[in-house]
């Protein structure tokens, strides 16, 4: 009996020891009526595992450094202001949560890239529900792992590329989750460089000066269900491998060199279920290899796909091309890509055996798109009678356009997606 009670006591002690961190963790409130008037004092007082709750108000404390594993929580969106002179919030600890702040006016410096929130060599950080307003970089991550960035708004007002940083900038990091953020007015909405095994999901990125989302040297990543509108280019994927792109919308990326998505020197990627509407060029492919593009919708774009002649072994399968000015264009005569069973609204063939596959192959490359590619001012003659005549005769007897640029089994009806 006594033995059991000793055992019970030991158990209690052990659990007490284990939980001490939690039980002894303090909650520190920062505000005008409380013991701590400044955030810096509260952080200095805190130990690992503590919670700091910051009450509503404006806090201009210069650079705030979080160097402990704490929960840093704002009540009714307190404002942290960098006064255009400081990086607002720097994190140099692991296991930190930052939630519910309005972080504004960080400094501008091209050498050390200050951000609204900047993480240095950390892991297991959550950044939730913050509003980053008018910072140089919104959220800046370097050498980090296991980071969750969720439901933040990053708003900036950049005019020129060199005057503004990226919304969410990730460098040399791994296992990031970027979910449900709203990004506008930055250089790039989200920027990845040397980032691996990360997922980007349900973000809205619009009116950014350069790209909505930008990958550089970042392998094994995926982005799903994002919305890219009105950026310089929707997404740019460059020098990367094994990127999965699904269910995204690329809309109204208009302009001189604007693309829905710009693919440069990438390989082994996969794309499915995306919608491209009203872009100048929906997809621009340059040095892209082994890329499977299936079940996407290209609607009302200037160019559906611009495939440069240096692309190889790409498969374009089961897509809908509807109401584009040009479905496909290319800059050379070499074609090493496969088109298979797409729906082309410009297809004029027939289907005698009623298997819903057109009996005549479709050549998606019109003569005029080749002419315009080589000689852009020719756009001036677009839809003139002369040009329609040339196009029609080329369709019947291809002579200038490469004859292996062909969909052998064009679909008669659009695919339901």
Partner 1 sequence: MNRILKYVIVDIVKNKIVLAYAIILALFSWSTFSLEDNASKGLLTLLNIILLTVPLVAILFSTIYIYKSSEFIELLVSHPIKRSKIWWSLFAGLASSLAIAFIVGAGIPILIYVDFLKAFMMLSVGILITIIFVAIAFLSSILCRDKAKGIGVSILLWLYFALLFDGVVLFLMFQFSDYPIEKIMVGITALSPIDLSRILILLQLDVSAMMGYTGAIFKDFFGTSIGLVISFTLLILWIVVPFSISLIKFKRKDL
Binding site for partner 1 (CB under 8 A): 254-258, 278-281, 300-303, 323-326, 371, 374-388
Q: Which CB, 57 or 323, lies closer to partner 1?
A: 323
As measured in angstroms, the least distance from the Cβ of 389 to partner 1 is: 8
Q: Which CB, 26 or 392, lies closer to partner 1?
A: 392
* Centroid of chain to Cα 332: 31
Q: Which CB, 180 or 302, lies closer to partner 1?
A: 302
As measured in angstroms, the least distance from the Cβ of 383 to partner 1 is: 6
Contact indicator for 92, 121 with CB cutoff of 8 Å: yes
Between CA 309 and CA 292 the distance in angstroms is: 17
Residue with tokens 């450094």: 65
Query: Which tokens sit at 134?
Result: 């008018």
As measured in angstroms, the least distance from the Cβ of 248 to partner 1 is: 19
Count the neighbouring beta carbons within 10 Å of the beta carbon of residue 2.
6
Q: Which CB, 133 or 321, lies closer to partner 1?
A: 321
Contacts of 316 (CB under 8 A, 6+ apart): 293, 294, 305, 337, 338, 339, 340, 342
As measured in angstroms, the least distance from the Cβ of 256 to partner 1 is: 5
Q: Which CB, 71 or 303, lies closer to partner 1?
A: 303
As measured in angstroms, the least distance from the Cβ of 186 to partner 1 is: 22
Q: Which CB, 357 or 378, lies closer to partner 1?
A: 378
Between CA 206 and CA 213 the distance in angstroms is: 10
Q: Which CB, 384 or 404, lies closer to partner 1?
A: 384
As measured in angstroms, the least distance from the Cβ of 415 to partner 1 is: 17
As measured in angstroms, the least distance from the Cβ of 162 to partner 1 is: 22
């Amino acid at each position: 009996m006594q033995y059991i009670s000793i055992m019970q006591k030991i158990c209690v002690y052990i659990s007490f020891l284990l939980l001490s961190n939690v039980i002894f963790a303090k909650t520190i409130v920062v505000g005008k009526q409380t013991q701590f008037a400044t955030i810096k004092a509260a952080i200095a007082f805190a130990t690992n595992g503590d919670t700091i709750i910051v009450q509503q108000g404006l806090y201009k404390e210069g650079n705030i450094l979080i160097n402990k594993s704490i929960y840093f929580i704002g009540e009714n969106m307190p404002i942290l202001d960098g006064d255009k002179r400081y990086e607002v919030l720097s994190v140099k600890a692991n296991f930190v949560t930052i939630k519910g702040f309005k972080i504004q006016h960080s400094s501008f410096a091209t050498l050390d890239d200050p951000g609204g929130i900047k993480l240095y060599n950390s892991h297991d950080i959550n950044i939730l529900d913050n509003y980053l307003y008018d910072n140089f970089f919104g959220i800046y991550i370097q050498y980090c792992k296991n980071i969750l960035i969720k439901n933040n708004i990053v708003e900036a007002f950049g005019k020129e590329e060199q005057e503004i940083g990226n919304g969410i900038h990730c460098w040399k990091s791994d296992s990031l989750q970027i979910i449900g953020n709203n990004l506008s007015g930055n250089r790039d909405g989200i920027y990845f460089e040397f980032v691996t095994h990360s997922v980007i999901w349900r973000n809205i990125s619009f009116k950014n000066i350069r790209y909505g989302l930008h990958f550089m040297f970042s392998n094994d990543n995926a982005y799903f269900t994002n919305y890219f509108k009105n950026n310089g280019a929707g997404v740019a994927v460059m020098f990367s491998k094994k990127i999965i792109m699904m269910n995204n919308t690329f809309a109204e990326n208009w302009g001189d060199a604007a693309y829905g998505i710009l693919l440069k020197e990438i390989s082994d990627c996969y794309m499915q279920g995306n919608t491209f509407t009203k872009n100048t060029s929906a997809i621009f492919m340059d040095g892209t290899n082994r890329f499977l593009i299936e079940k996407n919708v290209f609607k009302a774009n200037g160019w559906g796909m611009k495939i440069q002649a240096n692309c190889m072994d790409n498969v374009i399968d089961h897509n809908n091309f509807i109401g584009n000015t040009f479905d496909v264009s290319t800059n050379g005569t070499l074609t090493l890509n496969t088109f298979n069973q797409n729906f082309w609204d410009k297809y004029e063939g027939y289907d005698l055996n009623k298997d819903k596959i057109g009996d005549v192959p479709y050549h998606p490359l019109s003569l005029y798109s080749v002419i315009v590619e080589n000689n852009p001012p020719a756009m001036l003659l677009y839809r003139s009678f002369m040009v329609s005549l040339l196009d029609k005769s080329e369709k019947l007897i291809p002579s200038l356009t490469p004859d292996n640029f062909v969909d052998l089994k064009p679909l008669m009806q659009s695919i339901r997606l």
